[in-house]
Chains A and B, each alone.
Chain A
Protein backbone atom coordinates (compact mmCIF):
# COMPACT_ATOMS: atom_id res chain seq x y z
CA UNK A 1 0.00 0.00 0.00
CA UNK A 2 1.41 3.36 -1.06
CA UNK A 3 0.70 6.14 1.41
CA UNK A 4 1.56 9.72 0.55
CA UNK A 5 0.40 13.12 1.69
CA UNK A 6 0.63 14.59 -1.78
CA UNK A 7 -2.03 14.29 -4.44
CA UNK A 8 0.27 12.64 -6.93
CA UNK A 9 2.57 9.69 -6.50
CA UNK A 10 5.78 10.21 -8.49
CA UNK A 11 6.00 7.56 -11.20
CA UNK A 12 2.37 6.56 -10.81
CA UNK A 13 -0.89 7.60 -12.33
CA UNK A 14 -4.13 7.67 -10.39
CA UNK A 15 -6.64 5.75 -12.47
CA UNK A 16 -9.52 5.41 -10.07
CA UNK A 17 -10.71 7.17 -6.92
CA UNK A 18 -12.25 4.72 -4.49
CA UNK A 19 -13.34 7.27 -1.90
CA UNK A 20 -12.52 8.76 1.44
CA UNK A 21 -10.96 6.55 4.11
CA UNK A 22 -10.40 7.48 7.72
CA UNK A 23 -9.25 6.16 11.05
CA UNK A 24 -9.34 7.56 14.54
CA UNK A 25 -8.41 6.64 18.06
CA UNK A 26 -8.55 8.29 21.46
CA UNK A 27 -5.99 7.14 23.96
CA UNK A 28 -4.95 7.90 27.49
CA UNK A 29 -1.90 6.99 29.55
CA UNK A 30 -2.24 5.52 33.01
CA UNK A 31 -2.23 7.92 35.91
CA UNK A 32 1.44 7.25 36.78
CA UNK A 33 2.50 8.62 33.41
CA UNK A 34 0.21 11.62 33.84
CA UNK A 35 1.83 12.45 37.16
CA UNK A 36 5.29 11.96 35.68
CA UNK A 37 4.43 14.28 32.82
CA UNK A 38 3.06 16.99 35.10
CA UNK A 39 6.27 16.84 37.16
CA UNK A 40 8.37 17.04 34.00
CA UNK A 41 6.28 19.98 32.92
CA UNK A 42 7.70 21.95 35.87
CA UNK A 43 11.17 21.89 34.38
CA UNK A 44 10.22 21.69 30.71
CA UNK A 45 11.65 19.43 28.05
CA UNK A 46 10.26 16.48 26.18
CA UNK A 47 7.36 14.70 27.86
CA UNK A 48 8.32 11.18 26.81
CA UNK A 49 5.14 9.56 28.09
CA UNK A 50 2.98 11.82 25.94
CA UNK A 51 5.28 11.52 22.92
CA UNK A 52 4.80 7.77 23.19
CA UNK A 53 1.04 8.19 23.59
CA UNK A 54 0.71 10.26 20.44
CA UNK A 55 3.06 8.03 18.45
CA UNK A 56 0.99 4.97 19.34
CA UNK A 57 -2.25 6.75 18.60
CA UNK A 58 -1.00 8.01 15.23
CA UNK A 59 0.09 4.53 14.22
CA UNK A 60 -3.26 3.07 15.27
CA UNK A 61 -5.26 5.72 13.39
CA UNK A 62 -3.13 5.20 10.27
CA UNK A 63 -3.59 1.43 10.46
CA UNK A 64 -7.37 1.78 10.74
CA UNK A 65 -7.37 4.05 7.73
CA UNK A 66 -5.27 1.58 5.74
CA UNK A 67 -7.53 -1.34 6.60
CA UNK A 68 -10.49 0.67 5.26
CA UNK A 69 -8.54 1.33 2.07
CA UNK A 70 -7.80 -2.38 1.73
CA UNK A 71 -11.48 -3.18 2.07
CA UNK A 72 -12.24 -0.81 -0.79
CA UNK A 73 -9.70 -2.61 -2.94
CA UNK A 74 -7.36 0.37 -3.28
CA UNK A 75 -3.61 0.06 -3.67
CA UNK A 76 -2.69 3.54 -2.50
CA UNK A 77 -3.89 6.32 -0.22
CA UNK A 78 -3.12 9.85 -1.34
CA UNK A 79 -3.44 13.25 0.30
CA UNK A 80 -3.29 11.88 3.83
CA UNK A 81 -4.02 14.42 6.57
CA UNK A 82 -3.57 14.08 10.32
CA UNK A 83 -5.39 16.04 12.95
CA UNK A 84 -5.00 15.87 16.69
CA UNK A 85 -7.61 17.03 19.14
CA UNK A 86 -8.01 16.78 22.87
CA UNK A 87 -11.50 15.83 23.82
CA UNK A 88 -11.05 14.96 27.49
CA UNK A 89 -8.31 15.90 29.92
CA UNK A 90 -5.30 13.57 29.71
CA UNK A 91 -6.49 11.91 26.51
CA UNK A 92 -5.62 12.69 22.91
CA UNK A 93 -7.49 11.94 19.73
CA UNK A 94 -5.67 11.19 16.53
CA UNK A 95 -7.60 11.30 13.30
CA UNK A 96 -6.18 10.41 9.91
CA UNK A 97 -7.96 10.67 6.59
CA UNK A 98 -7.10 10.38 2.95
CA UNK A 99 -8.39 9.32 -0.43
CA UNK A 100 -8.13 5.66 -1.38
CA UNK A 101 -7.16 5.29 -5.02
CA UNK A 102 -5.96 2.78 -7.54
CA UNK A 103 -2.60 3.91 -8.89
CA UNK A 104 -0.81 2.40 -11.85
CA UNK A 105 2.92 2.68 -12.46
CA UNK A 106 3.72 4.88 -15.46
CA UNK A 107 4.18 2.78 -18.54
CA UNK A 108 2.63 -0.31 -16.97
CA UNK A 109 0.12 -1.97 -19.28
CA UNK A 110 -3.49 -1.50 -18.22
CA UNK A 111 -4.60 -4.88 -16.97
CA UNK A 112 -8.10 -4.14 -18.19
CA UNK A 113 -9.52 -1.32 -20.28
CA UNK A 114 -10.38 0.60 -17.13
CA UNK A 115 -12.26 3.84 -17.45
CA UNK A 116 -11.44 6.47 -14.89
CA UNK A 117 -14.18 7.04 -12.37
CA UNK A 118 -14.64 8.88 -9.16
Chain B
Protein backbone atom coordinates (compact mmCIF):
# COMPACT_ATOMS: atom_id res chain seq x y z
CA UNK B 1 0.00 0.00 0.00
CA UNK B 2 2.83 2.34 0.96
CA UNK B 3 4.59 1.59 -2.30
CA UNK B 4 1.50 2.47 -4.31
CA UNK B 5 1.15 5.82 -2.52
CA UNK B 6 4.83 6.55 -3.12
CA UNK B 7 4.58 5.76 -6.83
CA UNK B 8 1.39 7.85 -7.12
CA UNK B 9 3.03 10.77 -5.33
CA UNK B 10 6.03 10.57 -7.63
CA UNK B 11 3.74 10.48 -10.67
CA UNK B 12 1.84 13.55 -9.49
CA UNK B 13 5.10 15.40 -8.81
CA UNK B 14 6.32 14.59 -12.31
CA UNK B 15 3.11 15.86 -13.92
CA UNK B 16 3.30 18.99 -11.75
CA UNK B 17 6.91 19.57 -12.80
CA UNK B 18 6.03 19.20 -16.47
CA UNK B 19 3.10 21.62 -16.06
CA UNK B 20 5.40 24.15 -14.43
CA UNK B 21 7.69 23.85 -17.43
CA UNK B 22 4.82 24.43 -19.86
CA UNK B 23 3.18 27.24 -17.88
CA UNK B 24 6.29 29.13 -16.77
CA UNK B 25 9.34 27.77 -18.58
CA UNK B 26 8.19 28.23 -22.19
CA UNK B 27 6.71 31.77 -21.86
CA UNK B 28 9.71 32.95 -19.85
CA UNK B 29 12.07 31.62 -22.48
CA UNK B 30 10.14 33.37 -25.26
CA UNK B 31 10.10 36.62 -23.30
CA UNK B 32 13.83 36.38 -22.70
CA UNK B 33 14.53 35.74 -26.39
CA UNK B 34 12.43 38.78 -27.36
CA UNK B 35 14.26 40.92 -24.83
CA UNK B 36 17.64 39.66 -26.11
CA UNK B 37 16.65 40.54 -29.68
CA UNK B 38 15.75 44.07 -28.63
CA UNK B 39 18.90 44.65 -26.61
CA UNK B 40 21.08 43.20 -29.35
CA UNK B 41 19.45 45.46 -31.92
CA UNK B 42 20.14 48.44 -29.62
CA UNK B 43 23.84 47.54 -29.31
CA UNK B 44 24.32 46.43 -32.93
CA UNK B 45 26.88 49.19 -33.49
CA UNK B 46 29.05 47.99 -30.62
CA UNK B 47 31.79 45.80 -31.95
CA UNK B 48 33.03 42.70 -30.13
CA UNK B 49 35.83 40.49 -31.43
CA UNK B 50 38.06 37.80 -30.01
CA UNK B 51 41.20 39.04 -31.75
CA UNK B 52 43.82 41.26 -30.14
CA UNK B 53 45.20 43.05 -33.16
CA UNK B 54 42.95 45.51 -34.93
CA UNK B 55 43.17 46.01 -38.71
CA UNK B 56 45.96 48.32 -39.83
CA UNK B 57 45.25 51.99 -39.26
CA UNK B 58 43.05 51.55 -36.20
CA UNK B 59 44.52 52.71 -32.91
CA UNK B 60 43.06 51.55 -29.60
CA UNK B 61 42.83 53.83 -26.57
CA UNK B 62 42.09 52.97 -22.98
CA UNK B 63 41.79 49.32 -22.11
CA UNK B 64 40.00 47.83 -19.18
CA UNK B 65 38.72 44.39 -18.26
CA UNK B 66 34.97 43.98 -18.62
CA UNK B 67 32.98 40.96 -17.49
CA UNK B 68 29.51 39.61 -18.12
CA UNK B 69 28.30 36.67 -16.14
CA UNK B 70 25.11 34.64 -15.94
CA UNK B 71 23.91 31.41 -14.40
CA UNK B 72 21.08 29.69 -16.18
CA UNK B 73 19.00 26.69 -15.21
CA UNK B 74 16.97 24.30 -17.26
CA UNK B 75 13.33 23.63 -16.44
CA UNK B 76 11.80 20.31 -15.53
CA UNK B 77 10.13 19.86 -18.91
CA UNK B 78 13.40 20.23 -20.85
CA UNK B 79 15.24 17.92 -18.52
CA UNK B 80 12.47 15.34 -18.78
CA UNK B 81 12.50 15.42 -22.58
CA UNK B 82 16.30 15.34 -22.70
CA UNK B 83 16.25 11.97 -20.95
CA UNK B 84 14.46 10.49 -23.94
CA UNK B 85 17.03 12.08 -26.22
CA UNK B 86 19.71 10.43 -24.15
CA UNK B 87 18.18 7.02 -24.89
CA UNK B 88 17.95 7.45 -28.65
CA UNK B 89 20.90 9.75 -29.18
CA UNK B 90 21.07 12.91 -31.27
CA UNK B 91 20.88 16.62 -30.78
CA UNK B 92 19.52 18.19 -27.57
CA UNK B 93 18.02 21.36 -28.96
CA UNK B 94 16.44 22.58 -25.73
CA UNK B 95 19.79 22.69 -23.91
CA UNK B 96 21.43 24.21 -26.96
CA UNK B 97 18.93 27.05 -26.85
CA UNK B 98 19.40 27.41 -23.10
CA UNK B 99 23.16 27.87 -23.44
CA UNK B 100 22.76 30.19 -26.42
CA UNK B 101 20.46 32.36 -24.30
CA UNK B 102 23.00 32.40 -21.49
CA UNK B 103 25.84 33.37 -23.85
CA UNK B 104 23.86 36.17 -25.46
CA UNK B 105 22.91 37.48 -22.03
CA UNK B 106 26.51 37.31 -20.75
CA UNK B 107 27.76 39.11 -23.85
CA UNK B 108 25.15 41.85 -23.46
CA UNK B 109 26.06 42.34 -19.79
CA UNK B 110 29.70 42.68 -20.80
CA UNK B 111 28.75 45.26 -23.45
CA UNK B 112 26.67 47.17 -20.86
CA UNK B 113 29.67 47.42 -18.57
CA UNK B 114 31.93 48.53 -21.44
CA UNK B 115 29.44 51.18 -22.52
CA UNK B 116 29.19 52.58 -19.01
CA UNK B 117 32.96 53.09 -19.18
CA UNK B 118 32.58 54.96 -22.43
CA UNK B 119 34.19 52.25 -24.57
CA UNK B 120 32.97 51.51 -28.07
CA UNK B 121 34.53 48.11 -28.69
CA UNK B 122 35.64 44.98 -26.88
CA UNK B 123 38.66 43.01 -28.08
CA UNK B 124 40.21 39.70 -27.04
CA UNK B 125 36.88 38.39 -25.80
CA UNK B 126 36.72 34.92 -24.28
CA UNK B 127 33.73 32.82 -23.26
CA UNK B 128 33.83 30.13 -20.60
CA UNK B 129 31.08 27.72 -19.73
CA UNK B 130 30.92 25.59 -16.63
CA UNK B 131 28.39 23.25 -15.22
CA UNK B 132 27.39 23.96 -11.67
CA UNK B 133 25.33 21.90 -9.27
CA UNK B 134 24.22 18.35 -9.70
CA UNK B 135 22.81 17.20 -12.99
CA UNK B 136 23.09 13.48 -13.36
CA UNK B 137 21.04 11.23 -15.55
CA UNK B 138 18.85 10.36 -12.57
CA UNK B 139 17.72 13.78 -11.55
CA UNK B 140 18.35 17.44 -11.01
CA UNK B 141 17.94 20.17 -13.58
CA UNK B 142 21.19 21.12 -15.28
CA UNK B 143 22.59 24.53 -14.37
CA UNK B 144 25.36 26.28 -16.23
CA UNK B 145 27.42 29.36 -15.72
CA UNK B 146 28.59 31.45 -18.66
CA UNK B 147 31.39 33.94 -18.19
CA UNK B 148 32.20 36.36 -20.97
CA UNK B 149 35.18 38.68 -20.60
CA UNK B 150 37.27 40.94 -22.74
CA UNK B 151 39.10 44.25 -22.95
CA UNK B 152 37.04 47.38 -23.49
CA UNK B 153 38.74 49.96 -25.73
CA UNK B 154 38.01 53.09 -27.68
CA UNK B 155 39.32 52.53 -31.21
CA UNK B 156 40.13 55.49 -33.41
CA UNK B 157 41.31 55.99 -36.96
CA UNK B 158 43.35 59.01 -37.91
CA UNK B 159 42.52 60.76 -34.65
CA UNK B 160 38.82 60.23 -35.17
CA UNK B 161 36.96 58.06 -32.63
CA UNK B 162 35.06 55.26 -34.33
Closest Cβ of chain B to A84, distance in Å, is 9
- Given known contacts A24-B99, A26-B92, A28-B90, is B49 in contact with A99 (CB within 8 Å)? yes
Q: Measured between alpha carbons, how far is A95 from B60 in the docked complex, in Å?
A: 29
- Given known contacts A26-B91, A28-B92, is B55 in contact with A116 (CB within 8 Å)? yes
Pairwise interchain contact B142-A117, C-beta atoms closer than 8 A: no
Pairwise interchain contact A93-B50, C-beta atoms closer than 8 A: no
Closest Cβ of chain B to A88, distance in Å, is 5
Q: Measured between alpha carbons, how far is A29 from B37 in the docked complex, in Å?
A: 33
Residue of A nearest to B138 (CB): A89
Q: Cβ of A101: which chain B residues have Cβ within 8 Å of it? A: 51, 55
Q: Which of A80-118 contact B (CB under 8 A)?
A: 81, 83, 85-91, 93, 95, 97-99, 101, 115-118
Q: Cβ of B26: which chain A residues have Cβ within 8 Å of it? A: none
Contact of A27 among B47, B91, B157 (CB under 8 A): B91
Pairwise interchain contact A25-B53, C-beta atoms closer than 8 A: no
Closest Cβ of chain B to A70, distance in Å, is 18
Pairwise interchain contact A93-B129, C-beta atoms closer than 8 A: yes
Pairwise interchain contact B128-A24, C-beta atoms closer than 8 A: no
Residue of A nearest to B52 (CB): A7
Check: A63 CB closer than 8 A to any chain B CB: no
Chain A residues in the interface with B (C-beta under 8 A):
7-8, 13-17, 19-20, 22, 24-31, 33-34, 78-79, 81, 83, 85-91, 93, 95, 97-99, 101, 115-118
A79-B51, A87-B144 provided; 14 other pairs, C-beta below 8 A? A7-B51, A26-B91, A26-B93, A26-B99, A30-B87, A31-B89, A81-B50, A85-B144, A87-B95, A87-B135, A90-B137, A97-B50, A97-B127, A116-B157
